[in-house]
Structure 1
Amino acid sequence: MAMTAEDVSRFERSRHRLEAIAYRLLGSASEAEDAVQETFLRWQAADLGRIEVPEAWLTKVLTNLCLNQLTSARARRETYVGQWLPEPLLDGDPMLGPADTVEQRESVSYAVLTLMERLSPNERAVYVLREAFDYSHREIAEMLELTESASQQLFRRAKQHLADGRTRTEVDEATARRIVDEFILAATSGQTESIVRLLTADAVSIGDGGGKVPARTTAILGALAVARFLRGLFKPTAAKRVYLGGPADVYAWPVNGEPSLVVLVDGEVVGVMCLEVGADGITAVRSQANPDKLVRATELFAVAEHGEPLLTIL
């Protein structure tokens, strides 16, 4: 039976929700879009008259596609060059999904998306569906073909794994901007001590260049080591000018709900630096520089009202 305009419309009404689920599961906007498109093809080929609850059917198909993809992604990431970090999404991107509760906002934070790499595919799926989209364990069990008790157990395990590695403190917009302003001032002061004062003693810096651009292949550990690295990173040099091909404009912009810096050269996002904030200071600096993971950020930034840069590195 040919698909009607209403059938297409029903799918399109679910698209943003499906993309938000897929992004949380995969940590990649481009892979999320591919998974949603494959879900549409399955919808197109299905006997729609036999589908009683379209939203549940679409979510089940999408989730299982993502689970299959997560299994193969783990193998690919074993050969990934350097550190792997998720694809960052600028605040305002509809793929971030619901953000009405603390749990929903945390589930898409850059810190939690990174930590979710510790979870098994099923743990990740249960956590996302329950924490971010408020599906019941009965509904999740039906989607993943588990028992309800198994879903509850997977959720408890996922929460524990994430709690073990999370120190994030939620900050409001004004506090986030103040943190970024202080960070920029310290990083450009040339004084290591100024940066150290903003960091926790066990702070970590992680960069993802994907083998496409220079980036440390190992994490930098400890406040002093991180501060020294950041001091050098923000120091203008002739070599950086040649490499970048022009001045770099640095903007304050929340990314995945975290205080962040967005760096542009000639209108293209070339780096995103997310600051994870704990009760005692900045606990982690995660920098995404892989150009393959910054395409969507460039597209959104181009149409957003972003004002003047905080800093231009000449």
Structure 2
Amino acid sequence: MEDTRTGAPDRTGGDAEALARRFEADRGHLRAVAYRMLGSLGEAEDAVQETWIKLGRTDVSGVANLTGWLTTVIGRVCLDMLRSRGSRREDPLEYYVPDPVVHVPGAGDPAHAAELTESVGLALLVVLETLAPAERLAFVLHDMFAVPFDEIAPVVDRSAAATRQLASRARRRVQDATLGPGPDARRQREIADAFLAASRGGDFEGLLAVLDPDAVLRADGGTLLAGTSRVVRGAETITRQALMYASFGHASLPVVANGQPALLSVVDGKPGSLMVFTIVGDRIVELHVLADPERVAALGIPQEALAGAIGSA
């Protein structure tokens, strides 16, 4: 028998329809694992599909915990994708901004966004990008999804003890880069709005008031706008950049990206760039700017929401 969606033969040893329903029930969990592993929405979907194909080619009639089995399978798929990506990567990792999951408040059901982004801000995804593939797998599966080390070990071809060490090294890297807690969502939005107002008004002091002195701005223009990719460190330097950006006078749309306040610039009714704020205390500590036209266009912002963008005039 062949699966009509994937072309994969059915060797499950069970009811194909029931297994498909079971996989759909786990799809959100698998997508969340893949997103944390890959930091790319498109690649995460590819990994989920590859896992479905592998399921269709495997007899799982004797598998007691299918969710656990699928979790380790998608982990292996993601590990292979990370290793392949590392061998062909051309864009400097310093500038890379992972794919954000963007939600327009009031625009539909945010369940999918919440599923992907719970406890995963862009700042954490940036740190995960610096880990070796096997370290990232061990940390994500164990620390984020409670997969035992003895189940992760065969995936990375190491002993359980060595796998524990992989996760421990990754955990130290993550903890060293972990930022403090931020205020509630309403206060975070107020701070983001204050940054925008000061930027548009050319208010140097107003910008310094909301930026942490050691704030970092990371801008990713992709291959099409590679000249805009940069890392800017320090509040005063970021302020000069912000005042420069304000001269363009783009309209903007307040959105939420990975649970954090964000602003989407809108140019001629189309998304221009996305700025995501990481706020600790009452100060902005990190700004992630995604200016890659191809990836911004793929954010899936509804046209009716873009039409409601607020101009700078």
Q: Is the 8 A contact 1:16 1:95 kept in 2?
A: no
Q: CA deviation at 1:46?
A: 1.4
How many residue pairs get matched? Answer: 295
Residues 218 and 165 (structure 1 numbering): CA distance in 2 closer, same or farther, change over 3 Å? same
Q: Which position in structure 2 is the counterpart of 1:312?
A: 311
Give the Cα separation in 2 of the matches to 1:186 and 1:201. 16
Match of 2:112 among 90, 94, 98: 94
Q: Which position in structure 1 is the counterpart of 2:56?
A: 44
RCO comparison, higher one (Cα < 8 Å, 6+): 1
Q: Which position in structure 2 is the counterpart of 1:240?
A: none
Match of 1:264 among 260, 263, 266: 266
Identity across the alignment (%): 29
Equivalent residue letter for 2:99: E
Residues 98 and 84 (structure 1 numbering): CA distance in 2 closer, same or farther, change over 3 Å? closer
Q: Which position in structure 1 is the counterpart of 2:19?
A: 7
Q: Deviations over 1:124-159 (max 9, x none)?
A: 112222332233334433554543333332222212
Normalised to the residue count of structure 2, the TM-score between the two structures is 0.84
Q: Is the 8 A contact 1:25 1:128 kept in 2?
A: yes
Q: Which position in structure 2 is the counterpart of 1:65?
A: 77
Corresponding position: 1:116 with 2:136:
no
Give the Cα separation in 1 of the matches to 2:97 and 2:34. 16
Q: Is the 8 A contact 1:271 1:294 kept in 2?
A: yes
Equivalent residue letter for 1:223: A
Equivalent residue letter for 1:94: H
Residues 16 and 214 (structure 1 numbering): CA distance in 2 closer, same or farther, change over 3 Å? same
Give the Cα separation in 2 of the matches to 1:202 and 1:210. 25
Give the Cα separation in 2 of the matches to 1:267 and 1:150. 52
Please state whether the residue corresponding to 1:48 is helix, strand or coil.
coil
Q: CA deviation at 1:74?
A: 2.0
Unaligned residue ranges in structure 2 (runs of 5+) = 3-9, 11-15, 104-109
Give the Cα separation in 1 of the matches to 2:295 and 2:137. 22
CA-based RMSD: 2.7
Give the Cα separation in 2 of the matches to 1:233 and 1:156. 41
Q: Deviations over 1:26-53 (max 9, x none)?
A: 0100011111111111111112324332
Q: Deviations over 1:279-313 (max 9, x none)?
A: 3611121100113323442x2x318979943x314
Equivalent residue letter for 1:53: N
Q: Is the 8 A contact 1:20 1:96 kept in 2?
A: no
Residues 98 and 135 (structure 1 numbering): CA distance in 2 closer, same or farther, change over 3 Å? farther
Unaligned residue ranges in structure 1 (runs of 5+) = 238-247
Give the Cα separation in 1 of the matches to 2:116 and 2:296. 22
Q: Is the 8 A contact 1:82 1:210 kept in 2?
A: no
Match of 2:195 among 183, 197, 216: 183
Normalised to the residue count of structure 1, the TM-score between the two structures is 0.84
